[in-house]
Chains A and B, each alone.
Chain A
Amino acid sequence: KTVVTMNTVQIFGTIDPAKISDYTDYMAAVNLYDGLVNVDPAGNLVPELAESWTVSDDTREVVFKLRADARFSDGTPVTAADVVYSVERLLRINQGPANLFADVLKPGSVTAVDDHTVKFTLSKTFAPFLSTVPAIMVLNSKVVEANLGDDDGQSYLATHVAGAGAYTLTSWDRGSQMTIDRNPDYYKGFGPGPIDEVRWIITNDEATVRSLAASGELTMSSQYQSPETYKALEAMGRFKIVAEDTPTAFYLKLNSKVAPTDDIHIRKAIALATDYATIREVIVPGGELNGPLPKNFADFYASDLPAPVYDIEAAKAEIAKSKYTGQKIPIVLGYVAGTKFEEEISLLMQANLEQIGFVVTQQADPWNRITELASKVETSPAVNQIFFSPTYPSPDSMFFTQYHSKAAGTWSSMEWLQDPEVDKLIDDARATTDKAEQAALYKTLQHRLVDLQADVFLQTQTVQHAMDKCLDGFKAVPMQSFDYDFTKYSWTCQ
């Protein structure tokens, strides 16, 4: 029996597919539930419960054909009715992934054509729709109905699984661990060297991770360990360190509506005063980022944009052009309190900015406070360190949520960018079904955002995992934590 023991730094909030929202939630959900489609590392959709799908010309109608042999883990067949039920419930509860479908699906939009055919009728053209479909996890409607309670089965699904996933929930001790076991009757079957059991141990304590590794229990670390821990684990000999670039981008968000970052020259100066190499090499590993979009979205990526450079003299020149020239420029640098590397980056920024005439105030806030501060222009710090990763495998996820004026007021849009041209480009791309045209629009958009210096585009995130040398299969996927779908992993030793 192959067991993978992995540590994770956060507790699992929920396993109800209608409520899952964060990275850890999805980690459990992708293993316990199956959706109509899945995502591969390149961001392409791959069949799962649906063996094929067709999109109408205006992209307003999508028809999925379900696999005939698809079974829930209790053995009952997966039918179109289950899909309809799952979507309706998602919309009813209106949490978790529901926001992806907010303007697109209405109650009644999804219908069962026959037992194995489901039709989605969109209320408007929304090009990235397909890429959001993996977020729909299909529920076993009969089981849910039988345990409906007075809250649409929420109590039941908070602790039980009613899905078609490759794994079933064995034990879950909130706050300490979750164990899932392979469903041997999984309809898709498994490849060679399947993982029989996955145990997540919840700890963000480096020492615990090390002792788990030392005692031979740990198979795979989380991606959040300290460099020292990776080093120590590697030194044990049993582990390989797998580093991989992800589509997660790391920005210094520049608030375009408050002083001094309301001046484009100041924004450019900050970008020029950023020591990218040191950050990447010493503080936190990462890949180059030349604009708002990580290069994982290869088809849409503007590869002609030059990588940003660190040039203090040029920064000074930009300041000279700004309206703030000739004075001490006060500026606030925000980051998440308690995050070591963000603190280090902030200090590095402070050291550099103070050289060129800024007076820096550091502002470390806990995450919840940052979300609050982000809701108002005045309270959003001039500069803020933010990670953003796509929630569905489409550039739209990167652009709309961060730069569209309609999305303002969240932590992901602290630029307070209200640029009609940017808005128009995003909207146009959403309305286009033609992929080439979309690519062109997105490339223009990237140039526009770099010209505006909407953010300092620091780097992409490189994740590191210490993995047992026998374990294979980690591949970054541009959607949530779909890369922890353990059907994609295999045990290579005997």
Chain B
Amino acid sequence: MSDALLSVRDLSVEFTTYGRTQPVLHGVSLDVPARSHVALVGESGSGKTVTMKSIMGLLHMPPASISSGAILYDGRDLLTMPRRERLKLTGTDMSMVFQDPMSSLNPVFTIADQMSTILKYADRRLGRSRSRRERMQRVLEVLAQVRMREPERVARSYPIMLSGGMRQRVLIAMALLSEPRLLIADEPGTALDVTTQAQILKLLKDLVEERGLALLMITHNLGVVRETSDYVYVMHKGVVVEEAPTAELFAAPKVAYTRALIDAVPRLTGARPAERTEAAP
């Protein structure tokens, strides 16, 4: 999988608090090829968000430190790359969708304001320039792309005027503003109710298919993983314990932890997890 767009190699991260150093990631490796939908699962606190933040360069470095490893993007190591170049990539070539649509939008600015600001500075980093009008046009275009029905109205709204599903779409739209090749989504839709969640997942799936995005989705909802992703990494206490194509993983989890995780999921059939495990082939 060396042709992967994003390739995390043996990443270790530790946090230093109160003078005590606590490792959080132990040699995590994963690959995200273009035009693929990769899921990263694991229980709460297993290190998913830390992995994502390391990739995006969002870790607050005083408490955190990357003790080893490399993050290759398009074959170049993000960690050793000059800061300026890296900044050029984040928010433009690689972008992310935040977990909580309720709190990830600035409540005091309109959607248009927030989105065009992002676009303005993304352009500036890439040495492009666009007039206000053009920027606004692009904003509306992207809002339409995420199937927002009335882009103009949404653009003029403050976040509080939008429903959770709409906000999540706005967040996705923000990530898509400067046509990224890699999209990292941290638990998208978990804060929404099922019907809305289903719509968002469908949207992401379509984006991968239509625009050839590489999508890394972080979640702990195995149902979501199974229904949308192509390939899964399972993480436990900062270690990737298992990786496999989605269908394979669900059909025959190799590691006990994965199995336990799958077993814990309540079933729509109503079978108690324990009973089901016995019934499984």
Direct interface between A and B, CB < 8 A: no
A interface, CB within 8 angstroms of B: none
B interface, CB within 8 angstroms of A: none
